[in-house]
Structures are given as structure tokens and as C-alpha cells.
Structure 1
């Protein structure tokens, strides 16, 4: 082989002619789908940088415009919205859901993500998509255990996750801070400030992530740095108490309280209606059989771990506020020592945001399996996810599967002291920005959000207005319960 044939491309170009280097036609490497295109800062014909493109969006969507709320025509009243959202749920459990939503305006907001999505359609959006939590209220952040048993704090509920306008998550979070603050007894300025600080932390965190190398930004703001980054020192005592409880919130503890000797060397669940009840044999067998398909959806390196557990029992367990009435099971597994692992097999319904995305200018993605949608959305948004996340189908219905009581703990935002409301807002705002930056370019959103507090003020004003709307909706629901228009079972 000649020296020309073995030379690198630049050398071949030089030797091919009279000794003068000859530029190759086109780039040396192809553009590979799934990777970014190479950019040349000297190329004046190149498109604007993401930061500049984000800044340019302000001309079309001024940041001050985010204060507006114009309810769309044909908006369903609150009671009809709740009734419609109850369709497809277990009929005997919907009164529990209504009872929980009727407890407070904040509880109503927690159960009405679909109604708020309906209302957000008429609000300004930049057209920038991110993977959304879909239900990013203040109580959907919390602690959970990672693979090594350490505690992580992040978003922790993804039933409604879908790609859509990042503004929707941010406005829902800000509104929830106002309602949680009001329920906690904080004055109106403290509540507004909680929303304002939530947005400010989101904006500043997005700017920080935009300046970082991509890999560093992906894992940025480790939990030990979060309180300092968010200037949330007033929350330290609360977070320490929640962390202590979370460390004890395990499968073993749940099994110790909720099971009994089965008489055949194993354990079985104990009925505790209406929250926990054992299910008929055929139903239990169908759920257990569904775990076979689940195994193919978890990471292959986890299969040997799950193979060390035997399935002992299945029970139905009522969960959450928005999720009440969906089919949700707990499955008891025991290892060779009799130590328990409890999996939650939870029905995955279509995202309540999906029907409203086209009206906001966003495509509705094709969903292969609703459980898969939830799991992939969760993995896209969290820095660390449950190592046993997966999905399955039981009797034709899609389900997500995850660990139950995986050292989970949460702050009750409606029980915060007045001086903690803004701290909690800053912490959750920072976490939401990090989650969005996993799917949306932080440079683009940071360019739009900017340095000043125009967006903070606008979204805080929206949050107060929508909190007032939610209080009116909640009052309508309470009246309907009182007149018997809709059944409710409070206190469960």
C-alpha cells in the first residue's frame, strides 16, 4: 500500500496535487441522526444560537403576557369536570376521590389537572416543548431511595407526563404554591411571593444550566447543594424531619403493618377497607401473571435480582387524590429469607393533557403503551429513577410497575410555616427547571426567561388569579356535595 493510501485525509489532500493542501469537498464526517450538528462560530449564515433564538421569542410572546388568564368558551363547570374525570374509574371509589378533592382548594387543584390543562390552552406559549410532569403541583415533589439506599429529592409523580409547553408545568406549580400557602394560613403577599420565588428559581436555574457543559448540567444541583442553591435554609429542619421518616418508609415496614402469616410459610395482606383489600383469586392471578411481561421492560441487569423473589399475594390499594378510583395493586414478594419487597402495579390512563395539546400548537405523540409513556417520561425528567420501573398489561389495561414505599417522603406544602413557603417555592422551582432541561435545551428557555424578573412577576400574577378561580371551583364542588348532586366520602 502506498504512503498516499495510508495517510490521514488531510495528508492525502496535500499529496494528491502539487504539494499545496487541497480542501476536501464537504465535511469529513456525516451528520448522524440523533446527534447535534457541528457549529462554526465563524459561519455567518448559521442559524442563531439557542440563547439568541430564545431571546427572539420575546417579540412574539412578551414575558409580561404570561399574567393573563382568559378562560376558553365552553369551559365545563367544576362538578361536570370532576364527573367526566371519574369516567372509567372504579365506581365504588369515586366518592372517596370527590371527598378528597372537596377537602380544600389545594386538594381540588391536585385532582383537577385536566381542568387546568383545558384552561391553559388560552394562555401564551413560546412553542418550546419539554417533557412535562403534567401535574407539577407543590405536593408532587419528594424524597425516594436510589439504588444504593440514599435519599434523592425530585419530582415523583408522572401519571400525566407528556411532551408539551414548559409554561404549563411552571404555572401549575406557581398556582399550587399560592393555594398551599393560603391553606397554611400565610398572608396573601407571602403566598404571592411563594409563586414569584418559584418562577425566579426556575429562571435562574435554567440560566445556570445553560452555562454548564451538557453532561454537568444533566446531573447538576446535587441534593446536598439544593438547599444552598435555592436559598432554602429555612426548610432545613422540615427536610431533616421528612428525611428521617422517609428512611423508615420501606417495603418491610409496610409489610409488617399490612400482612399476616398465611399458614403455608408465607405472608398475605390483611384487609383494611376501603384503602387496602385482598382481591379474588382470579384477579390476583391476572395481576401476578402480568409481572411476567413486566420483566421484559426492566433493565436486563435487574432480572437476576427479581428472580430471587417469589410472589405471595396481591391486594388492591387506594392511592393519591387524582389517582383515586384507578386500578392500583400492591404485590407482595418475599426472598429466601422471608424479607419483603412490595411492588405497586398502577393503572396508567391516557394523560389528561393530551387532548388539549393540539389547541396549544403541539402534536400529540403516538403512545404505544400508557405505562411505557409514564416510565419513559419519568426517566427523562428525574436524575435518578427507581431501578425496578417497568410496565405491563393486565386484562387489556395498561399498568406501570414500581417499588412501593421506596423510602418515599414528602413535605406537606399546606403545613409549612409562613417563612418556609418561599423557600419551598425556590426549591421546587429549581428542581422543575432541572427536570425540563433534560428534554428541552436550557439555552433556549434561559434566553427567553432572561435576567430580570418580568416572567416572575407575570406568572405570579397568573398564579394568584388562577388560585382564585380554583377556590371558586372548589366552592362549587362543595355545594354540589351538600345538595347531593355528586356523592362524596370525606375523611378517607
Structure 2
């Protein structure tokens, strides 16, 4: 099977244009397909469920389900070291070796830190033509728990730095490939790794079919359609029950208040300040801290107006620099300690928002991306709200010294399943759970009936994506080996994770 070239030109349908918001064509919109003619996929604007479902079936004639097994080798693919160096551009140079060291830990860790390289590869793969808001980095470690406005735990995707509209297949392919790599790292045999990828794809497809059968409002309010407490049963993830219970118990204790209690000390004037714990938590100069603190004034206007009285009850006590996860290491990220009049803490994270690494590859693939010039923090926040069933009420954005930032609560009862700490028997259950969560997230901005019509009732797509996952895991292992060789040769500096 050979790759089909993407054509140029074409227009979005008038239906898609009419419902475009912030450059994202909403429910029912379509991407360019991978057919020689290069025409945009026109979506039937019929309001019945049967219209989009029938159109989805027709898309299979142009982009067969079996074609998703395809992984093209491209002469234009950048050298691995060059790709890593390009991804490090603009990051704080003193933290780049730490980022490289984290990526060097395993092929799965390498995949986590190379979303841009995978997007380059995905740009040459077939797509159905249906658009959704993408997480952009939907690997197996980016799902987890967090607290809602009432302190209850929600289960969903939880990382949106790369979020952008694009082909729904890109998120799903990143998920299934990561499951194979996680499985290999935890010691599962190849059939078990492939089965986890297959089950993730199958449950994604099955979830879309369920959502497609619901009235639009019920499907939109997916909390009720596929509630968190029903997900284990729905996904058949019973092997994860004890794991999720343990993660939930830990997440309930993982609060900003607990972080503040452990990481701050009282000052002589009765205030509070962070205790440095380098290299993870570091002091700032007074000028740097003031810039971050002052930026919260503009941040306040990006959260709902009804929350302004709440924010007005807090005063800034201190600001510190804090290193973040693998993909974001080297970006500027700060924690801000605020307290109310009784000393109750609120910790906010102010994190640099860089352009999505998917963007240039979406352009290369022919996707009609939004015009440049928007605030990257706003992109992240709106993308997260579009995909999650419920989001942090205090999310917003700001600008510091000309750079865009996202703002959110820090350690808002966050918890996650470490996929490489699972047992082989639990891996496919985790694949099913994450497949259901990803489908639920995509269905907020893509018509579930359209995707369900394309995916079909049988397992042809599941088989194709499992084959892709194995092939891409092999590629990631080779990429990881190239990274290790560059570190040994001295071409790349690396520090072991702290």
C-alpha cells in the first residue's frame, strides 16, 4: 500500500463556515481528505442523525478503514537529534539537558517529549476528513483525575498544551502507539501490547456509536451519557478498579493547600514565602516576581465575571519558578501563593503557552488552520474547555514580558494512572478506558454520528490502528536509540531526572 498525496485548494462548506468560531469549524465540519482531487469533504447539513451517519459511511469509499495501518517513511523526515534540538528552541537553556534526560529514560518517555516529530509523521497518514478539537498530545499518561468546582473528582484528558483543531485520527493514533510502548516497558508480551491498542480503538469506536444514538443535548452533556462512575463498567475496565480507587484517594489529598503547607514558611512580617527546592522549585528576583504578580490583574478578566469577587479576596504572598513535566521542561512556569484574610491558601500555576507543535504539520497536511496572532494561553484554555466535560473554573490566561501564559489552579486534586506501572493484565483495560475518554472528548466538537458512520460496526479500523501502533512503537524505539547515541557521543547534553 502506498501513500496518497494531499491535493491543494478546496473550500469548507457553507455550513461549516457559518458555524466557525475562533477559526474552528464546529460540529459537522470536515478536513481535506487524502484523495488525489484534494477536495474538502462536504458534510450533509441535514439535522437528522441519519444524514451525518450516511456521510460517514461514504467517506470510507474514499479513505478505506484499512488504510489507517499505513505508516509512511519520508525522506523529508528530520533527523531525530535535529527534531529534538528544534523542539528545544526558545526554552530556558539551563533546563534543556534535564528535558533531554527525561526523554532518554525510555522509548515511552521519548514519545511523550516528541509530539512535534510524531505530528510530522502523522501529516503523511490517511485521514477521514472529519475535524475535532484535538488534545494534541493524547498519549497514555495524559489522562487522569482532577477536582471540579465542588471538590468532586472528574476523570478525563488533563493536558492541553498542544490543543488545536485537526483530524481526530491524530489523537487516537498517538494514544494507541503510546499504549504499545508503555506495554513493552512494563514487560507485557507483544500480543498484549497490540491488544491494548486494538481495545483502545474499539472502545473509541463503540463510544462514538453510543453518543451518536443520543439526542444532541444528551450527547453534549456526556457527563450523564457516559458518566465517570460508569466508565469502568462501560469500558470493561474492571481490572483497574483497585488502581483507580488508589489514585482517587491520593488525588483527593493532592491539593494546593497541601503543597503550600509543605513548600512555604512564615516570614518575620507575618507573610508566607516559598522554600527553594532546586532544581524543581527556585527563587525569583523581586522584579521577576513582581512581573508575574502584576499579570494576575489582566488574568482576572479572562475568568467568568461571577468569580471576580472570589479572586478579590486573595492577596499575593510569593512567586517561585517550578519545573514542569517532560514535554514542557524548559518552558517558563511559575507558582503563585495567594492567601485570603484568614490565611487560607490558593496556589495558581502561571505557565508559558507556546504555539502548538502540531500547527506547521497541519498546514503541511492541508488543514485550514486558524489565522496566526491569537493568544496561545487563550488557545489552551478554550481547547481544554471544549474537550473536557468539566474544567477548572479558575482557568484563564495572561501576558508576562510579551510572552503568553495560561493560568490555572495548581494541584487541583490531580491524580493519574502511571501506564508503565500497570500489570500486563491491566494494560488492555486501561486502553479501553482511555479510548472511551478520548471519544467523549472529541464528540464535543465533532459530530459523533459522522465519526461513528465512518468507523463502522466491525473491527477493521481497530485492526488497522493496532497495526499502526506497533509500527510506530518500533519507530519510536529506533528514535530513542538515536537519542541515546547522540547523548553518548556528546552531541546532546543530558541530565538524569531529578
TM-score by length of 1: 0.91
* Secondary structure at the counterpart of residue 328 of structure 2: coil
What residue in structure 1 maps to residue 205 of structure 2? Answer: 203
Contact 1:78/1:476, CA 8 A, preserved across alignment: yes
1:171 is paired with a residue of what secondary structure?
helix
Are 1:256 and 2:261 an aligned pair? yes
- Find out whether 1:339 has 2:341 as its counterpart: no
Matching residue of 2:474? 468
Shift of the 191–217 alpha-carbon distance from structure 1 to 2, 3 Å rule, reads same
Given the alignment of the two structures, is residue 267 of structure 1 paired with residue 267 of structure 2, yes or no? no
Kindly state the Cα deviation for residue 33 of structure 1 after the two structures are TM-superposed. 5.4
SS at 2:415's partner residue?
coil
* Whole-angstrom CA distance in 2 between matches of 1:73 and 1:300: 52
Superposed, 1:448-459 pairs within 5 Å as: 448-459=454-465
In terms of mean alpha carbon deviation, does 87-96 or 351-360 score higher?
351-360
Q: Name the SS for the 1:405 alignment partner.
A: coil
1:425 equivalent in alignment to 2:454: no
Match for residue 305 of structure 2?
Answer: 300
**Corresponding residue number in structure 2 for 1:156:** 158
What CA distance in whole angstroms lies between the structure 1 residues aligned with 2:133 and 2:331? 23
What is the count of residue pairs matched by the alignment? Answer: 456
1:408 matched to 2:414? The reply is: yes
Question: Of 162, 167, 170, which residue of structure 2 is paired with 1:168?
Answer: 170
**In the alignment, does 2:131 pair up with 1:125?**
no
Match of 1:11? none
Give how far 1:73 is off.
Answer: 2.3
- Give 1:278 shift: 1.2
Report whether the alignment pairs 1:398 with 2:404: yes
The answer for the alignment partner of 1:44 in structure 2 is none
Aligned counterpart in structure 1 of residue 63 of structure 2, from 61, 64, 68 = 61
Q: Secondary structure at the match of 1:190?
A: helix
Which residue of 350, 353, 357 maps to 1:352? 357
| Correspondence for 1:87 | 89
Spell out the pairing of 1:38-117 with structure 2 (5 A cutoff): 39=46, 49-117=51-119
The structural deviation recorded for 1:262 is: 1.8
Structure 2 unaligned runs (5+)? 1-16, 20-25, 28-43
Q: For residues 112-132 of structure 1, what are the alpha-carbon distances to aligned partners after superposition, in whole Å with 9 as ceiling and x for unaligned?
A: 000000001110011111000
What whole-Å deviation, never above 9, does each CA across 1:89-146 have from its counterpart, x for those lacking one? 0000000000000000000000000000000111001111100000000000000000
Q: Confirm or deny that 1:233 pairs with 2:238.
A: yes
Indicate conservation of the 8 Å contact 2:45/2:51, yes or no: no
Shift of 1:356: 0.6
What are the ranges of 5 or more consecutive residues in structure 1 without an aligned counterpart? 1-31, 42-46
- What is the deviation of 1:359? 2.4
CA distance in structure 2 between the aligned counterparts of 1:120 and 1:464, rounded to whole angstroms: 15
Structure-1 separation of matches of 2:97 and 2:360: 25
The whole-number CA distance in structure 2 between the counterparts of 1:290 and 1:256 is 25
Tell me the C-alpha RMSD between the 2 structures.
Answer: 1.6
Q: Which consecutive aligned stretches of 4+ in structure 1 deviate over 3 angstroms post-superposition?
A: 32-41
Change (3 A) 1:285 1:461: same
CA distance in structure 2 between the partners assigned to 1:131 and 1:224 by the alignment: 25
- Of 358, 383, 389, the residue aligned with 1:383 is 389
- Report how far residue 168 of structure 1 moved: 0.3
Residue 125 of structure 1 contacts residue 360 of structure 1 at CA under 8 Å; is this kept in 2?
A: no
Give secondary structure in 2 for the equivalent of 1:137: coil
Tell me the residue number matched to 1:3. none
Q: Distance in 1 between matches of 2:475 and 2:229?
A: 37
One of 470, 481, 485 as aligned partner of 2:491: 485
Contact between 2:282 and 2:321, CA under 8 Å: does it hold in 1? yes
- How far is 1:40 from its partner? 8.1
Asked if the contact 2:316/2:338 (under 8 Å) is kept, the reply is yes
Native 8 Å contact 2:320 2:336 kept in 1: yes
Deviation of 1:153 after TM superposition, in Å, equals 0.4
Q: Contact (CA 8 Å) 2:202, 2:462: kept in 1 or not? A: yes
Say whether the 8 Å CA contact 1:349–1:398 is kept in structure 2: yes
